[in-house]
């Protein structure tokens, strides 16, 4: 049973609610989208994020200045695609890319003009003419990796991080204060498991939700950054206050590098423009798990070893520059469960990052993680669920059986009954119903005291 559940579909890594920029724009006020499309680069970025059907409709309507009836639009596709075309209409309308009324559709002027400029050419150049690349590719790559890993290291090991970054992570509920120190939350652990593009967009959307300034200008600038050429110099002199605030924050997490009145983007910023389904990095497959619960990590990354340490005991174990060993123990897993990390998340991590040697028999239907290990993790989690605490109110010492029956029937009618014993007699009800029980007791026919 566990074998089927773990390996056949429950564990889908890389997904996280709240990391879709299109959903964020769709749920934002209409004025946000209208102002975003004043930036031509933002129009191109949004166009790239859309599904092929939406892009097809936009290209065919890009130079059309009059509303087009639905029946004409449907005629461009096979009848079997009508449902998908209708969904595309809803998407374009929700993103303020198209206006729909009386079964006709027309692209909004701001988006139409902005996308025309980027596709056909026009507008002022972004890069600073005559300025050499601010940083070479290798140095920028190292800088981006170091600063983003610092963010993730703070989440799993509470290493120091900038106050603005900590504030964003707290607001996103990725970390929380636990027993006097910051610790990762279940959402934070899921965040660590996600692909880097998902991580970045989730963080950016949380940053925008707490942004103190013009959100539309900030988002338009972020979309422009995604299309910028890594390493190319861009001037900071013409940036708005909102864009400058974004730039300073993004420099803390490795998306940009600022130097002498110019800035340049790193590889992390270009990841924002990638499609969501990107190939998995083989270097992330570094974990070996044995049937005796021993865990080995073949990696030079301290961050990856620290993530293993969230649920693995590494005391008195081997730790070399490119190798670390640990053990899944009852104590280490109970500590992880106490922080809100689930067994499913732990198994997800171990399977997703399983070493190629552990995947040798996957084509035969065997999971990369030993079944005995996944069973044991689930069993240790179930141990933590033996006792469930709930705040209740106890009523006892009723003067008469009639008083007990009077309150007992009322508690049953409210659906707040937890336990009742006629022999004592006593009632146990949910704590939130105490005020209602008091009022009902005050209006009882008999005034006997209880």
pTM for the structure as a whole = 0.74
Hey, what are 266's tokens?
């790193």
**Confidence at residue 164, expressed as pLDDT on a 0 to 100 scale:** 93
Euclidean distance between CA atoms 324 and 308, whole angstroms: 9
- 27-43, pLDDT tens digit by residue? 999 889 889 999 998 99
Please name which of 437, 439, 440, 332 lies closest in space to residue 393, comparing C-alpha atoms: 437
The answer to whether the beta carbons of residues 190 and 196 sit under 8 Å apart is no
307 has pLDDT over 80: yes
By DSSP bridging, strand 294-297 and strand 417-421 are unpaired
**Confidence at residue 63, expressed as pLDDT on a 0 to 100 scale:** 93
Residue for token pair 């300034």 = 213
* Separate counts of helices (H) and strands (E) for the chain: 21, 15
The answer to whether the beta carbons of residues 219 and 208 sit under 8 Å apart is yes
Instruction: For residue 323, give the 3-state DSSP assignment.
Output: strand
Cβ partners under 8 Å of residue 341, min gap 6: 184, 186, 189, 310, 311
Give exposure, 276-287, as e/b (b: 16+ Cβ within 10 Å): eeeeeeeeebbb
Element containing residue 415 per DSSP (H, E): none
pLDDT > 90 in the chain, percent: 44
Cβ partners under 8 Å of residue 370, min gap 6: 289, 290, 291
Average pLDDT of the chain, as a whole number: 85
- Range list of β-strands (E), 80-232: 98-101, 104-107, 175-178, 181-184
Which one-letter DSSP state was computed for residue 362?
Answer: G
């Amino acid at each position: 049973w566990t074998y089927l559940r773990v390996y056949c579909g429950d564990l889908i890594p890389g997904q996280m609610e709240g990391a879709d920029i299109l959903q964020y724009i769709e749920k934002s006020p209409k004025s946000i989208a209208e102002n975003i499309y004043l930036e031509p680069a933002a129009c191109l970025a949004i166009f790239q994020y859309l599904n092929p059907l939406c892009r097809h409709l936009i290209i065919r309507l890009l130079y059309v200045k009059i509303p087009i009836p639905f029946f004409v639009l449907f005629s461009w596709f096979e009848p079997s695609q009508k449902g998908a075309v209708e969904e595309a209409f809803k998407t374009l309308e929700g993103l303020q890319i198209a206006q729909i009324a009386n079964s006709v559709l027309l692209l909004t002027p701001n988006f139409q003009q902005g996308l025309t400029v980027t596709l056909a050419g026009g507008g002022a150049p972004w890069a600073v003419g005559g300025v050499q690349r601010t940083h070479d590719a290798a140095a920028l790559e190292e800088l981006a990796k170091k600063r983003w890993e610092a963010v993730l290291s703070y989440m799993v090991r509470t290493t120091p991080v900038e106050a603005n970054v900590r504030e964003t992570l707290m607001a996103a509920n990725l970390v929380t204060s636990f027993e006097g120190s910051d610790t990762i939350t279940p959402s934070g652990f899921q965040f660590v498991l996600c692909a880097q593009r998902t991580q970045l967009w989730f963080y950016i959307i949380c940053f925008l939700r707490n942004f103190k300034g013009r959100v539309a200008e900030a988002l338009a600038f972020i979309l422009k950054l995604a299309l910028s050429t890594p390493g190319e110099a861009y001037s900071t002199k013409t940036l708005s206050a909102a864009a400058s605030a974004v730039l300073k924050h993004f420099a803390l997490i490795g998306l940009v590098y600022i130097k002498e009145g110019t800035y340049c983007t790193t590889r992390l910023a270009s990841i924002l423009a990638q499609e969501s389904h990107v190939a998995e990095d083989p270097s992330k497959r570094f974990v070996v798990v044995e049937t005796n619960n021993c865990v080995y990590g073949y990696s030079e990354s301290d961050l990856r070893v620290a993530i293993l340490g969230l649920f693995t005991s590494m005391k008195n174990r081997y730790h070399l520059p490119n190798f670390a060993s640990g053990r899944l123990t009852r104590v280490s897993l109970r500590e992880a469960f106490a922080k809100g990390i689930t067994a499913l998340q732990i198994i997800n991590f171990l399977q997703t990052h399983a070493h190629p040697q552990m995947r040798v028999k996957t084509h035969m239907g065997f999971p990369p993680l030993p079944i005995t290990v996944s069973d044991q993790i689930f069993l240790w989690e179930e141990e933590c669920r033996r006792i469930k605490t709930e705040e209740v109110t106890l009523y006892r010492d009723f003067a008469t059986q009639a008083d007990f029956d009077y309150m007992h029937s009322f508690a049953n009618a409210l659906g707040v009954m937890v336990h009742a014993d006629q022999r004592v007699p006593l009632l146990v009800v949910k704590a939130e119903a105490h005020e209602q029980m008091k009022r009902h007791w005050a209006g009882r026919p008999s005034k006997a005291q209880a």
